[in-house]
Amino acid sequence: MTKPVRKAVFPVGGLGTRFLPATKAMPKEMLPVVDKPLIQYAVEEAIEAGIEQFIFVTGRGKTALEDHFDHSHELEDMLLEKGKIDTHKIVLDILPEPGSVFYTRQMKPNGLGHAVWCAKELIGDEPFAVLLADDLVMAKGKCCLRQMIDVYNETGGNVVAIEEVPREETNKYGVLSVMSDDGRIAQANGLVEKPNPEDAPSNLSIIGRYILEPEVFKELAKQERGAGNEIQLTDAMAKTMDRVEFRGLRFDGRRYDCGSKLGFIEANLAFALERDDLRDGVQELLKTFSQ
Ligand code: G1P
């Protein structure tokens, strides 16, 4: 019997240097895809997946994130006064249930593993999800995290979302060493963080969605540094593989790497093309570029 996955961690302490100067005074997770910040897509995915508690691991200069998920009384009053009822609803719909959001600060940018470790007291002894907001997923059918939780509820163990990437890009990801693979779920017996293409055990790469057993905290507590001299989540997951099964799920949908400029632009186009109010306009616009 698995325990229910009720809590999600959002590591949002990163500096976002790839998007400077846009991210000088604004968290990278607040960059909008069409008209919604990246972090809101991630939180909405977690809500859709049934998550009840939202744990943000923040850092300096990230208060805009806290404000985004809180009331803005002046704005709400002004929208009501002006009769902008639809917009008022959009602003209220952002708000999570009172008491369901928790913030803790990473204090030092020591890597993804360290960020997750900072949430350990808030997680306790139960399975939890981790969502990286700059991996934006447009799912087919159920959202990506829900698809993963469905697998977890059957199997337990650690479950991550995976994608096949071109060989030359393995140095951007955590990569699986696969022991069995049915074309949808790959069971792994090893993991390497950002291997060079010639050293990569496969081209199956982790994207920013994880369901983890709390066992991982035992390894993260050792604070061992790996690739890039950072405390890597990948390394900690790899070290629990002798006792925690590890599966990668090829989810139904597409992931956009909003940590890269091209991926971010592509996500904006893809999400705009899904919108009834924007599709025609964007298609017209795109034609003017292809001439
Ligand atoms: C992190 C993880 C990596 C994973 C990637 C997914 O890397 O360390 O294993 O594949 O997220 O986006 P980052 O992109 O933070 O360098």
CA of 281 to the centre of ligand 1 (A): 34
Domains of the chain as residue ranges with CATH: 7-259 (3.90.550.10)
Distance between CA atoms of 90 and 85, rounded to whole angstroms?
A: 9
pLDDT value, residue 78: 96
Question: pLDDT per position in the chain (291 positions), as tens?
Answer: 899 999 999 999 988 889 999 999 999 999 999 999 999 999 999 999 999 999 999 998 889 999 999 999 999 999 999 999 999 999 998 899 999 999 999 988 899 999 999 999 999 999 999 999 999 999 999 999 999 999 999 999 999 999 999 999 999 999 999 999 999 999 999 999 999 999 999 999 999 999 999 999 999 999 999 888 999 999 999 999 999 999 999 999 999 999 999 999 999 999 999 999 999 999 999 999 876
**Is residue 23 in contact with ligand 1, taking CB distance under 6 Å?**
no
User: Taking Cα atoms as reference points, which of 163, 174, 160, 175 lies closest to residue 247?
Assistant: 160
Q: Is the pTM for the entire model greater than 0.85?
A: yes
**Is residue 53 in contact with ligand 1, taking CB distance under 6 Å?**
no
User: Taking Cα atoms as reference points, which of 2, 33, 32, 26 lies closest to residue 12?
Assistant: 26
At which residue do the structure tokens 């696969």 appear? 178
User: Taking Cα atoms as reference points, which of 232, 14, 222 lies closest to residue 106?
Assistant: 14
Atom of ligand 1 nearest to the CA of 233: 8
